[in-house]
């Protein structure tokens, strides 16, 4: 099932980008996944899920310092 972003709320658009990132991650396309999580964070900067998943994808790529920064950003988010 596909959805148009028209009529979707900001949260919905962000969630869809996270889902796309998750699909890329499952395909082991970590760079593509990171880019989708970045897109989600542009839509919703408070998305702890996007920040955490991006950290995991960066960790898989060996970007350890950047992954730690993403995990720290998740800890700093108090909306969840």
pLDDT digits (tens, 9 = 90+) for 40-75: 999 999 899 999 999 999 999 999 999 999 999 899
Predicted pLDDT at 77: 77
pTM over the 0.75 mark: yes
Domain ranges of the chain: 10-76
Task: Give yes or no for a contact between 10 and 40, defined as CB atoms under 8 angstroms apart.
Answer: no
H helical segments located in the chain:
10-26, 30-43, 48-61, 64-76
- Answer yes or no: CATH 3.30.2080.10 is held by domain 10-76: no
Predicted pLDDT at 4: 35
């Amino acid at each position: 099932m596909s959805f148009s972003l028209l009529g979707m709320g900001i949260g919905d658009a962000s969630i869809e980008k996270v889902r796309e990132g998750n699909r890329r991650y499952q395909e082991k396309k970590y760079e593509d996944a990171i880019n989708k999580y970045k897109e989600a964070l542009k839509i919703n900067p408070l998305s702890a899920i996007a920040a955490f998943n991006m950290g995991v994808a960066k960790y898989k790529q060996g970007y350890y310092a950047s992954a730690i920064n993403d995990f720290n950003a998740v800890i700093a988010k108090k909306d969840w």
